[in-house]
Structure formats: C-alpha cells, structure tokens
Amino acid sequence: QQQLARQAAARWESVITGDAPDVTYNGRRIDDVAITIRGQTIDGPGNILGQAGPEAYRRGSYLPVAGSVILDSADMATMERNGLLLDVLTHEIGHVLGFGIFWSQLGLLVGAGTSDPRFVGPQATAEYNALFGTQASGVPVEAGGGQGTALAHWRESVLDTELMTGWIDYGGTPLSRITVGSMADLGYQVNMAAAESFRRPATRAAAAALLNKPSTVAAVLLS
C-alpha cells in the first residue's frame, strides 16, 4: 500500500512540474506540499472509500502546504485486491493539491446551486472543448452526490471514467488533459504531455446513459 501511495504521488509529479515556494508549517520546512495518508473508519465496507483535502495553504495563491488523505480502513484491502487503490489514492491526492477545493475562492466555479455548475478555468475549458468538439463556457461539474461530491468533481454523466469524477470505476481512471489543465488554472506549472489517454463517450446519448451504469462497473462515492 505504501508503494501504491508513492506511485500515486508520482502520477501527479509527472504532470505538475513547477516548484512552489518553500514555507514553514508547524515548525517544519515544507518543500512544495506534505501529504499524510492514513486508514481509519469512515462508514464501513462500501460507499465512501476515501476523503481528502488541504490543511494549510499559501496566502494569496491558495496553493496547499499540507494536507491529508483518509481511506476507509474497512475498504483498503478490497481496493488493493480489486486494483482500485492506486486510482483512489491518486484521486484523493488531487484534492489535497486543490482540485475542487478553492474553485469558488479563485473565481473558477460558476452555477453553484444550479443543475449546471461549470469550472471556467481557461486551460481546462480549452482541453474540454478540444476533446468534445464544443464551444462550452466551462467544464461540467458534478451537481449531485451530496456534500463532498457536488461542486468538487467533474460531472459523472459527461466525463464518466476520468480520474476526478466523484465515482471510481474498474478498469482504470485516466488523469486527462482536462484535469491537468485545471491544475494549471489553479496556478501550477504543468506538463500537458504527461496527461494520460482519455476518450469521451461516443455519443451524447451514451453520455446520458452513463447515469445508469451496469452492475459490472463500480460506482463508489469519492469525496
């Protein structure tokens, strides 16, 4: 599990390449960001697999200094056995890095409280439009799922298997150019070429149908 955590961190290190200013936090000099990962009881087997977020951030930029990832101890062995743990760890580290956390404060989220919230960062939006062949004003953000999922993830019915939707899928969840672009919009220096291959649903009808996934596909809440 520790090795998988290192692999998850390496996925983010491959796409976020710039340096953040060193800061002192709790008497410790932090180079970029310090992340603590631990297992503890959340809600028992199934449902919520993990949750995460920053605990301290840099004034002005909101780039995080430190944060924590908590995985439900009742699910960790099952996630490892089923090949989900690496993606869950990568997803949660993304939240510590600021994905879905400070969007409103940075003016990157519009439509909160409506059925069509959008992330309006220009780089993520450009990547979304390039992939979907649209001229949308922003990337669709999840409106449902409850606290911790709504307004903090890409919309499941549109982006489906992408790493930063609110539900995890068997078979791999790629860290797409859309997510890498969103991290650039947060203020990180990124390497877009390190993004993982991601394909959009074949048709709009197929995208809508993803709201009712077959039982062979995992639909487990992440926050």
Tens of pLDDT, residue by residue over 133-185, are: 999 999 999 999 888 899 999 999 999 999 999 998 888 899 999 999 999 99
**Residue 51 — φ and ψ, nearest 5°?**
-155, 155
User: Cα–Cα distance between 16 and 13 in angstroms, integer?
Assistant: 5
User: Cα–Cα distance between 155 and 157 in angstroms, integer?
Assistant: 6
Rg of the chain taking only CA atoms, in angstroms:
17
Tens of pLDDT, residue by residue over 83-106, are: 999 999 999 999 999 999 999 999
**Can you read off the two tokens belonging to residue 223?**
């926050």
